[in-house]
């Protein structure tokens, strides 16, 4: 149960960061927002695979 809770919190943090960046910086810039969102997801995925999945 602890592992699932950690993954849920991680996904919620990802969503919060993406939405926060969208609202604060890229509200009216579609392509820039899309590229930054993809980059954020890739960073979160790399961090997950490097530090959280192997434990």
Instruction: Output the pTM of the full model.
Output: 0.86
> What range does the domain containing 34 cover?
2-52
CA proximity to 17, closest of 37, 45, 42: 37
Length of the chain: 55
Give me the pLDDT at residue 3, please: 83
Q: How confident is the model at residue 2 (pLDDT cuts 50, 70, 90)?
A: confident
Give me the pLDDT at residue 9, please: 93
Number of domains in the chain: 1
Residue for token pair 């930054």 = 36
- For residue 6, pLDDT over 90 is answered with no
User: What's the CA gap between 41 and 49, in Å, rounded?
Assistant: 12
């Amino acid at each position: 149960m602890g592992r699932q809770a950690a993954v849920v919190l991680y996904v919620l943090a990802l969503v919060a960061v993406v939405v926060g960046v969208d609202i604060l910086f890229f509200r009216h810039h579609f392509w820039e927002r899309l590229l930054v969102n993809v980059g954020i997801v890739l960073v979160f995925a790399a961090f997950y695979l490097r530090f959280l999945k192997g434990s």
